[in-house]
Each structure stands twice: as structure tokens, then as C-alpha cells.
Structure 1
Amino acid sequence: MTSTLKGYALPDDKGYFGEYGGSFIPEVLQTIMDDITAAYNDIRKDPEFHRELTYLYKHFVGRPSPIFHARNLSAKLEGAQIYLKREDLNHTGAHKINHCLGEALLAKKMGKKKIIAETGAGQHGVALATAAVLVGLECDIYMGEVDIAKEYPNVVRMKILGANLIPVSRGTRTLKDAVDAAFEAYLEDPVTQLYAIGSVVGPHPFPMMVRDFQQVVGMEAREQFQEMTGKLPDNLVACVGGGSNAMGLFTAFLEDDAVAMYGVEPSGRSLKEGEHAATLTLGKPGVLHGFKSYLLQDGEGMPLPVYSVASGLDYPGVGPQHSLLKDLGRVQYVTADDKETIDAFFILSRTEGIIPALESAHALAFAMKRAKELDPSQSILVNLSGRGDKDIDFVVDTYGKDYGI
């Protein structure tokens, strides 16, 4: 379960992807992180752990998730053929369950009593609450008050599952502030709790560990796409906030030079400060939440306020491996704004009968634009990372009149 790029193992033993990653945390917490790293390195070599996780992926999550050829959408665009990796069909409705099960099993094997986490759109929170129930652990979820109001269906799901939902009222009351609150709670008791980070971010080993659990997406997609078409996809597209669904898809294709990769960030209302969350597009290297990566920051290195119509993407940092892939030019990081995203949300719904999550709609928006530039013989595989059940109230209340609702 090691990601490579032209033979270069990622990360190194200190958790660095080139100059990015690492572990910038208090010494007392570093000891705990070292224990987590050792435990993860043990279980990743344990055949029984892999058997258990594989069983749950198949019989609980419903893996493998299918690939769907969006023929109606492709015909409408009159360009490249668009295919969707249907992570929205997973139990709990998104890709997040892939790493939440792995983290919950790890916590159980380490003797932890509770798993805690942040959530933005609520998908990570729902998935972790689900995994906690399954393995018999307590679960605390920190969520900004803005996102609680915006993603209320997922709030209800977490409460039904028995999770302790803790509102975060400070700062912008969104994802970054929820991460801050969860980290502080973890520092109070890192012994009996495990902080199950929700993306390929945070101090080592989490960027590596979450990627490893998510790479099942790309491994399946590689085999499925070749079975469907006889070749690899020409283009891969995935949204990027922290970047877990994108790394899940990209990892299996990193050494295939003929496969172009695009990570789509939110340009929000505009590219003015505080109006977007386009970290790799406009950020520069810095340290946040215990790791080094590209960061939207002010002149003193403090994170800037960010915004996205998709609650799961409004984070001022990004996974360290994405930062390296940007520098190497292996992945092109592009943007989609709110208008393009909402258009894509409705277009997919009304051409294919699939309502996507707003996060995934960012990837779809770019894929649609890119498809028009390409020949119909070309293919684009989009990671449809989540379904839009959680978003429909917000979308209809905010944009419904513009779309005949």
C-alpha cells in the first residue's frame, strides 16, 4: 500500500512528500502519533486486518462501486465521453466510508474508547458515526454552526446514529474551525481517543493512511475502465478540498503518463480574498494543523478565511501529496466557481437522473467544460465522490427559482 511516482516512495519515514507533510505538533502529541504510526504499519501488514476490511467493503459498503458511462450527458456536450466512478452509491453516500472503516478498525485494535473528528459537509461525520457503531466505539463530531444549518440532513443522520454532535461557534463557523476544535479536544485526551482525520491532511501518518484506505477507488476504477473500454481513461477529474477522493482515484494512475489528471478546487464567488478556497491555485507553502502544504495565508502566515458553496471544500489547506504533485506538474489543479457548480448539479440530475453532492459537482463542472474541448474518441473519468441528498434543501432554497423549482 505504498504510493510511488517514478520509483519515488511517498512519503518518507518522517511523513514528507518532497518538502510537504511532516509532523508539526507538540512533543507530547508526537509520542502518540508515533504510536499510531507503529500500529498502522503493523496492521497494514496483517492479512487478518485486510480480510476484515475487504469483507466490510464488499458486504457493508457495497464495493466495488460501479463505473457508469454518462451517455446522455456526453451526447449533450458533443465532446469527450464522460464516465462516473459512482462513490455516491456507497453506504452512507460518499467515499468517506472507505477510510472511516479503516480508522475505526485501527482505533479498536489500539484499544481506544472513542473516535473524534471534524466534518464540513457532514459526509465524514456520518461515515465515522456509522463506523463507530459497527465496531462499538463512542463518537464525537465537531461541526461549524454554518455547516450545521446548511447540511442539516446529515446532522440528523449523525444524531440518529448516536454520535455526539458538537457545534463550533467561533471564527467562520465552518470546516477549518471545526478542525481546530477537534484538534484541541484531542490534545486534552490523546490516550483513550483517536482523532480520525477526514482527509489526506494532518500530521504524519494521516495523509498516508487516509490515502491508502482511499486508493481502493482508483484500483477498482483502473480494472473496471479497462474491462469496459479496453484501455485506460484519457483524463481523470476529481474535486479537491483536503483531497482524499482525488488521491483515492489518482494513486493507481500516477505512473501512467498518458493519463491526464485534474484536481478541481472551488473558486467560489470570485478569486478575491475570502471568496474562494482555491488553495493550490493561489496559496503558497505554509504550516496548518500539524503539516506543511500549500496554504491560503496572510503576510504573517495565518490562514485566510475561505468560502465554497460546497461545505466539504472550504478548507484553506490541502493534502501534502497534492502539493508535491502540483510542483511536479503531474496533476493540473484548476477551478470551478459556484455558478458552474450549480449548473453541473442540475445538468447531471436532469440528463442522467443522478443528483451529485456539491463537492462532486465541482469536478463535474470542469469535466463538462473539458469534454467540449476534446474529440468524442477521448474519455474523462470523474470521481463522483458523493450524492446530493444532503444538499437538496440548501440548493432549492438558494437557487431553486433560477432552475424552475
Structure 2
Amino acid sequence: MPGSTSNHVRRFPDAGGYYGDFGGNHWPPHLKPALQELAAAYEELRSSPAFLDELDSVRTGLQGRPTPVHYLENISKQLGGARIYVKREDLNHTGAHKINHCVGFALLARKMGKRKLIAETGAGQHGVALASAAARFELDCEVHIGAVDVDKVNANVSLMRLLGARVVPAASGQATLKEASDSALRAYTEQHADALYAIGSAIGPHPFPMIVRDFQSVIGQEARAQFLSITGGRLPDHVVACVAGGSNALGMYSGFLDDPEVALHAVEPLGKDARRGQHAATLTFGRPGTLHGTASVVLQEDDGRPAPVRSIASGLAYPGVGPEIAMLCRSGRVSVDTVSDEEAVATFLRIARHEGIIPALESAHALAFAIRLAETRPPTERILVNLSGRGDKDVDFVLAGHGGGSPNGGVRRGL
């Protein structure tokens, strides 16, 4: 079973799809039979040797797994503190961790007799990954993306179309990731008899958060074994990942949740500053609420509506967070920190120029915090970062007007 190496993963969610106080199924009643069908199909297939063998084959052939763990030697020497290692999810086919669950959903759809995949995307990495997986398994594909992001990540939009996907711009509201999710949900409501909603992160109603986490757990399983091999049997002292919905974070954390000596860090986008509407730091400034069919933590207006959000990283511009991440942060197992747009861009440039790696702006948030953390920790400590995606999509945007400035520190606050 994907994720079976962790006692935590085996315990959560409960039978109702809850992670403590968070989770559940809060979608409209007429869609619940489709979710029950998905849950039953996944429960049957998740332990099927034939299904898992095919999943492993696709991960090796199409994706290029396993991805390596790599030591950032130059940056670590510059800092003089803790050593920084990265899990190179940017080396996956299509350039990010998203393809880990996209191939899983494509396999599920085919086994369930569905002919189409529907999803939302922000930075475009999920859309490209899903289009690639759909092409591999000869399924139709429909990707919804905020109209603002169509221009911002135009290269990824072109790739989606090249791979055969129908791209649907969402122009309402802020026209970013939340609106893309709203649009994809409406499309799934109309087409669920023949289509499967391949949700883009560990969000939404049960069983979506569980399925995404399980398919993404390959990151943590590989990273744990690789790190132990590299260090002669030593675990990292810190594990760091950027967080919006939480797919890349849960994928990485899953390898270390049962190790209390490993500190887990979630890094959120502070955007321009801490004012409402200028960031997307849900765990830092949000409160309990319901969004896209799950009870979790949500950035909200005073009247309870989702608040506007902002981040230079399109994949982090979301006013909610997955229910399992919310539980882990509330319990204190995962600590929460923030990184500003300016600090993320400075790190994007620093990693490119001193390590020869172009990280996605989303991943640059995690790397920025890791650099900040390394400066305060002794050289004997080790930090492992999930480098969740590559930044080809961000290069023109950064160089066009965001290539300078000194980094600002982030805000740290508990849930």
C-alpha cells in the first residue's frame, strides 16, 4: 500500500475521513455517491499487487524515479552552519512532484472505467503532469486554471495543450487557484459519471486527501532510505517543505512522521506582507472553516468568506490547507514559518547562481527558510528540503521585474 511504512499514515484518516478535528466530506449530497465509489475503488486497488506493480513501472519509465537526494555544497559552505540537502523532485518528468499522484489518478480512472480526468492547477505543474498522465493512459483531460495564471505560466499552458489537454481559464474573483478549483468542481459536478476529479493537492473531501498523500508518500520513503545511505545511518535533524494544500509536504513528511527527533517545518508564503489580502499564509493567520468540501484552516474575511490571497508563487496562492497538515500543525508535530516574496526571489536567484539548480518559486520558499535555519544551527546538523519543482516556468517572470532586492525575514507564529 502506498504510505504503508508509517504508523501515522496507517492511523489517519479515521473511518469518517477525519484527521482529528479536520477533514470529512462536505461536498453536496448528490456528489457523495461518486466519492463513495472512488473510496471503494481505491480501497480495493491500493493493496493490489497488479495495480502497485503497474504504478511502479510507470514511475520508473514515465517519471524517471527514483529522484536523488543532493547536497547543496556551495550554499552550505557559504553559510557555515547546518548542511542543506535537497530531494530533487524537480527532476521528475514534467518538472515537479505533482506527477506522483497524477499517474495514480490516471490508473484509478482507467480501472474505474472513467474516460476523462478533470483538475485545477495554479503554477501549471499539476496541469502538465495530469495532461502527461492522461496521454500515457489515453484519457481525455480538462484543466482549469486562473486567468491571471494563464499569462504568468504561459509555457506550462502551452505544454498542457501540446499534451492534448483542454485548458479552461477561470476568470471570476481573483482568477487564481481558488477560482480554478471552483471551476473544476463545477465541471466535475456535471461530468462525474464519466470523469474522475484528479485533485491537485491533499485537499478536498475524503478520500482525496488520503489518496494524494498516499501517492506522494513515495517522496518520503525514497528520501529516508537515501539520506540514511548518504549519512551512514543518520536521519536529518530538520525536514522542510513549502505548504499550500500540502501534497509535497505530506509526501516528504510521511517518511519521518514516526521519528520525533526529526523536526518538521511547513513554510508558507508571506507574499508582500502580513496584511490581509497580501499573503497566503493560511496556517499562520487562518482559522477553522470549510473550503472545497473539507473542514480545515482557512484564511477568511470577517463574515467567513474566503479571504483574497497573494503570492509570487502561483501554486501557493490558496486560502486553505489540507486537513492532515492542519492537524499536524495544531498538534505541534509540524512547526510553521513564513517567507516573503522578496526572500523567495532572492533565494531563487542564489540557488541558480551558486548551485546550478533553478528551483520553482514555490520550492524557493522552502529553500529560503532552510537557509535562514541553517545560519542558526551548528555544522553538525543536517537539513533536508523537498525541492518540489523546477523553475523553468518562473524564469521570464522573475527576470522581467523581480530579480533584485534584499531578503526580508518571515513571520513565525503557531496555529
What TM-score bracket applies, with the shorter chain setting the length? over 0.9
Aligned match of 2:119: 117
- Please state how far the C-alpha of 1:14 moved relative to its aligned partner: 1.2
- The residue type paired with residue 280 of structure 2 is A
- The residue type paired with residue 84 of structure 2 is I
- Please state how far the C-alpha of 1:38 moved relative to its aligned partner: 0.1
- Please state how far the C-alpha of 1:3 moved relative to its aligned partner: 7.7
Question: Secondary structure at the residue paired with 2:280?
Answer: coil
Aligned match of 1:197: 199
- Please state how far the C-alpha of 1:28 moved relative to its aligned partner: 1.3
Question: Secondary structure at the residue paired with 2:255?
Answer: helix
Question: Secondary structure at the residue paired with 1:253?
Answer: coil
- The residue type paired with residue 83 of structure 1 is Y
Partners of 1:63 and 1:225 in 2: CA distance: 16
Superposition pairs of residues 359-374 of structure 1, within 5 angstroms: 359-374=362-377
CA deviation map 1:103-158 (0-9, x unaligned): 01001110111101000000000000000000010000000111011011101111
Instruction: Tell me if 1:48 matches 2:50.
Output: yes
- The residue type paired with residue 310 of structure 1 is A
Partners of 2:214 and 2:388 in 1: CA distance: 16
Superposition pairs of residues 195-344 of structure 1, within 5 angstroms: 195-230=197-232, 231-344=234-347
Kept in 2, the 8 Å contact 1:2–1:10? The answer is no
Kept in 1, the 8 Å contact 2:244–2:268? The answer is yes
Aligned match of 1:386: 389
Instruction: Tell me if 1:358 matches 2:361.
Output: yes
Instruction: Tell me if 1:75 matches 2:86.
Output: no
- Please state how far the C-alpha of 1:300 moved relative to its aligned partner: 2.3
- The residue type paired with residue 375 of structure 1 is P
Question: Secondary structure at the residue paired with 2:44?
Answer: helix
Kept in 1, the 8 Å contact 2:349–2:403? The answer is no
Question: Secondary structure at the residue paired with 2:254?
Answer: helix
Partners of 1:55 and 1:373 in 2: CA distance: 42
Structure 2 spans left out of the alignment, 5+ residues: 407-415
Superposition pairs of residues 92-241 of structure 1, within 5 angstroms: 92-230=94-232, 231-241=234-244
- Please state how far the C-alpha of 1:298 moved relative to its aligned partner: 1.6
Partners of 1:340 and 1:189 in 2: CA distance: 42
Kept in 2, the 8 Å contact 1:10–1:17? The answer is yes
Question: Secondary structure at the residue paired with 2:96?
Answer: coil
Aligned match of 1:25: 27
Partners of 2:305 and 2:14 in 1: CA distance: 27
- Please state how far the C-alpha of 1:400 moved relative to its aligned partner: 3.4
Tell me the TM-score normalised to structure 1 length: 0.98
Partners of 1:398 and 1:148 in 2: CA distance: 18
Structure 1 spans left out of the alignment, 5+ residues: none
Question: More displaced, 5-14 or 100-109?
Answer: 5-14
Partners of 2:162 and 2:10 in 1: CA distance: 45
- Please state how far the C-alpha of 1:8 moved relative to its aligned partner: 7.4
- Please state how far the C-alpha of 1:7 moved relative to its aligned partner: 9.0
Aligned match of 2:409: none
Partners of 1:226 and 1:14 in 2: CA distance: 36
- The residue type paired with residue 276 of structure 2 is E
